[in-house]
């Protein structure tokens, strides 16, 4: 409620940052920055609000650039599970989506979304609800595209997660799955004894063959690996908008290809698959 009002707001396309231009009422950038810092830490982004650069922990534009050439968003109904503050939803809306619905249970991220949405033109079909994949009704069969990016390894049952995503899609709909993997040609996965990269809630990190098997067993077909990328501090790092520990603190200072616990360092795969 304390955030300043704005007029003539418009969403500027084709920027790495989700960019809003317009006119603020009785507020300068320093004041706006101070007020937005009430929502620290800012994880996904970047954003540019009236010339104020919100330099988030993740340069999510890099992941978007890896995804966007492989998917058609125009006139698609999209569900983004674990969407955070909705950065990707704004990018998908700019790419022509007819509806973007995000699920994220963390209220801070929901409030970040609402803070940004406050300055968007009215009526844009982008929403975030405080829900998880467990809230997807069975046999929903609604969305053209469902995304799960950075969620699977936090689930105690990856199969249940994939089945929920399957139920969200219409027949022929597309799943985008992005998750941590280990490098192996075998059907295997890593289950950390305690933490992975200082994260407590990491359960299963599969090999690509194991992940493909999970997808096939849960009813997905046409499984395609569209990207494999090692996460580096170029993509995830501490900033003025996220002052806690970040990737550099999670890696072995001698061997950055391994985590601080000695596990293989973070490598992420992006996969598309079709509901059949």
∠ Cα 205 141 143 (to 5°): 75
Q: Does the pLDDT value for residue 12 go beyond 90?
A: yes
Which pLDDT belongs to residue 25?
83
Reported as type and span, the H/E element at residue 58 is none
pLDDT digits (tens, 9 = 90+) for 94-123: 999 999 999 999 999 999 999 999 999 999
pLDDT for res 218: 98
CA torsion through residues 163, 60, 56, 122, sign:
negative
**Digit-coded pLDDT (tens) for 21-49:** 999 888 888 899 999 999 999 999 999 99
In Å, what is the CA distance from 148 to each residue of 119, 155, 229?
27, 12, 17
**Interval 141-192: pLDDT, tens:** 999 999 999 999 999 999 999 999 999 999 999 999 999 999 999 999 999 9
Position 1 confidence tier, pLDDT thresholds 50, 70, 90: confident
Q: How many CA atoms lie within 13 A of 13 on its CB side?
A: 5
Angle at 198 between CA 192 and CA 203, to 5 degrees: 30
Alpha helix segments (H runs only) across the chain: 29-36, 60-67, 87-94, 107-117, 158-168, 208-217, 247-250
């Amino acid at each position: 409620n304390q955030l300043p009002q704005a007029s003539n707001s418009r969403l500027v396309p084709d920027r790495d940052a989700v960019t809003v231009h317009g006119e603020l009422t009785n507020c300068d950038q320093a004041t706006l920055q101070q007020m937005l810092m009430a929502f620290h830490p800012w994880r996904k982004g970047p954003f540019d609000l009236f010339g104020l650069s919100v330099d988030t922990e993740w340069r999510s534009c890099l992941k978007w650039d890896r995804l966007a050439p492989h998917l058609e968003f125009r006139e698609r109904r999209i569900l983004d599970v674990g969407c955070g503050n909705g950065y990707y939803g704004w990018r998908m809306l700019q790419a022509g989506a007819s509806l973007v619905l995000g699920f994220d249970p963390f209220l801070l991220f929901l409030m970040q979304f609402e803070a940004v949405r406050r300055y968007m033109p009215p009526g844009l079909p982008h929403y975030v609800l405080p829900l998880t994949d467990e809230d997807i009704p069975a046999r929903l069969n609604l969305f053209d595209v469902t995304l799960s990016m950075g969620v699977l390894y936090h689930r105690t049952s990856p199969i249940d997660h994939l089945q929920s995503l399957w139920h969200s899609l219409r027949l022929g709909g597309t799943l985008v799955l992005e998750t941590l993997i280990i490098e192996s040609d075998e059907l295997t996965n890593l289950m950390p004894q305690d933490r992975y990269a200082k994260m407590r809630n990491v359960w299963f990190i599969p090999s690509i063959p194991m992940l493909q098997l999970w997808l096939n067993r849960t009813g997905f077909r046409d499984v395609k690996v569209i990207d494999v990328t090692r996460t580096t501090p170029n993509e995830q790092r501490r900033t003025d908008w996220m002052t806690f520990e970040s990737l550099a603190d999670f890696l072995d200072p001698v061997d950055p290809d391994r985590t601080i616990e000695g596990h293989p360092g973070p490598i992420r795969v992006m996969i598309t698959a079709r509901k059949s």
